[in-house]
Amino acid sequence: MAEDTEQGRTTIASSVVQKVAGIAAREISGVHALGGGVSRAFGALRERIPGAGTADTAGVAVEVGEKQAAVDLDIVVEYGASIVDLARAVRRNVIGSVERITGLEVIEVNIAVNDIHLPEEDEETEPTGSRVE
């Protein structure tokens, strides 16, 4: 997005829109994560590298024009959440946040639910004791 005024030009990078959309999607209860298995794995690695930032944009793709934006999300939902209701809430929050923060009109938010997170997946799979003495 670019806006020209008498006093200068304002541009908003697509990565900004992507980050805003990712944060807005994660704010909804029932969204466990964004991205598919591979992008979540890379995101987890990236978070462990100092200075590499967070995985705010994993699972988020955007197309940004001069006045409009389109958003594609890949999400993982918590088991038991109503996927239809969750998708509505995510869509509403993403549209509201992107439009309020960037001034762009969001023309669509496409949501792909690619996994369901089960509570038992949080349990540690590694042994608790040391393997060596």
Return the CATH number at 61. Answer: 3.30.70.1350
pTM score > 0.85 for this model? no
Q: Which domain holds residue 62?
A: 6-120
Residue 65 lies in a domain: yes
Q: Are strands 31-34 and 60-64 parallel, antiparallel or unpaired?
A: unpaired
Residue 133 lies in a domain: no
Residue 73 lies in a domain: yes
Residue 41 lies in a domain: yes
Residue 47 pLDDT class (50, 70, 90 cuts): low
How far is residue 101's CA from residue 103's CA, in Å, rounded to a whole number?
A: 6
Residue 109 lies in a domain: yes
Residue 95 lies in a domain: yes
Contact present, 41 and 23 (Cβ < 8 Å)? no
How far is residue 14's CA from residue 117's CA, in Å, rounded to a whole number?
A: 29
Average pLDDT over residues 126-132: 62
Question: Which candidate, 76, 60, 65, places its Cα nearest to that of 28?
Answer: 76
pLDDT(5) > 90: no
Q: Number of folded domains in the chain? A: 1
Tell me the pLDDT tens digit for each residue of 19-38.
999 999 999 999 999 997 55
Residue 91 lies in a domain: yes
Contact present, 38 and 46 (Cβ < 8 Å)? no
pLDDT(49) > 60: no
**Residue 35: helix, strand or coil by DSSP?**
coil
Tell me the pLDDT tens digit for each residue of 76-109.
999 999 999 999 999 999 999 999 999 999 999 9
Residue 63 lies in a domain: yes
How high is the pLDDT of residue 57? Answer: 84
